Amino acid sequence: MRTTATEGQNVRMSDRPESARSIDQILAEARGRIDRVGPAEALREAEDGAILVDIRPAAQRAAHGSFPVGIVIERNVLEWRFDPQSDARIPEASGYDVRVIVACQEGYTSSLAAAALQDLGLTRATDLEGGFDAWQKAGLPTGTQPSS
């Protein structure tokens, strides 16, 4: 019987439901549905009206810096803020054709978040490949500088 270690426990693979998928499978499926953009393209699009949305928690933004364009909406409320039918939507969520570029620190969570926005019908939603790390490595401008 094959087992995997999880937080100091062994999980029996025989206990895995047939419908279960690994996070790697879920991520690959999400990325297969979105046309990801690189840092320079994300900046150009944001300057042309796309909404660059930083979903990182406040602690990550404080530690690493921020984008000089776009808005901050933490991951836990993203769908409510962008669903055009939600009472909690932001004014920018004016319809289903809004171009949204989701960004996180390294480009993993943002892929899942962009796929979730597509599930809401925002078919032009995508994410920033490589996240804020790639943005910085590309030498693009940032807001608040990382704390030392």
Taking only the tens place, the pLDDT of each residue in 3-13 is 555 555 666 76
Residue 8 lies in a domain: no
Domain CATH number, residue 124:
3.40.250.10
**Domain membership flag for residue 21:** no
* pLDDT higher than threshold 90 for residue 128: yes
26 within some domain: no
Q: Is residue 146 a part of any domain in this protein?
A: no
User: CA-CA distance, 89 to 117, in Å (whole number)?
Assistant: 13
**pLDDT for the residue 84:** 95
- Confidence bin at 1 (pLDDT 50/70/90): very low
Six token digits for residue 85: 């039918």
Is the CB of residue 68 less than 8 Å from the CB of residue 141? Answer: yes
Which residues have a Cβ under 8 Å from the Cβ of 25 and sit 6 or more positions away?
none
Q: Establish if 71 belongs to a structural domain.
A: yes
Provide the whole-model pTM: 0.85
How many angstroms separate the CA atoms of 97 and 65, rounded? 29
| Mean pLDDT of the 69-75 span | 96
Is residue 95 included in any domain, yes or no? yes
Q: Give the domain range for residue 59.
A: 42-137
Q: Name the more confident of 146 and 19.
A: 19
Q: Is 35:85 a contact under the CB 8 Å cutoff? A: no
Q: What does the pLDDT average to over 33-59?
A: 97
Residue 101, in any domain of the structure: yes
Residue 55 has pLDDT above 90, yes or no: yes
Question: Do the domain assignments include residue 80?
Answer: yes
Q: Which residues of 92-108 are buried (b: 16+ CB within 10 A; e: fewer)?
A: ebeebebbbbbbbbebb
pLDDT at 64 over 90: yes
Tokens of 64: 């690493």
- The count of domains in the chain is 1
Which residue intervals of 73-123 are DSSP H helices? Answer: 78-82, 109-119
Q: Are 39 and 128 contacting, i.e. CB atoms less than 8 angstroms apart?
A: yes
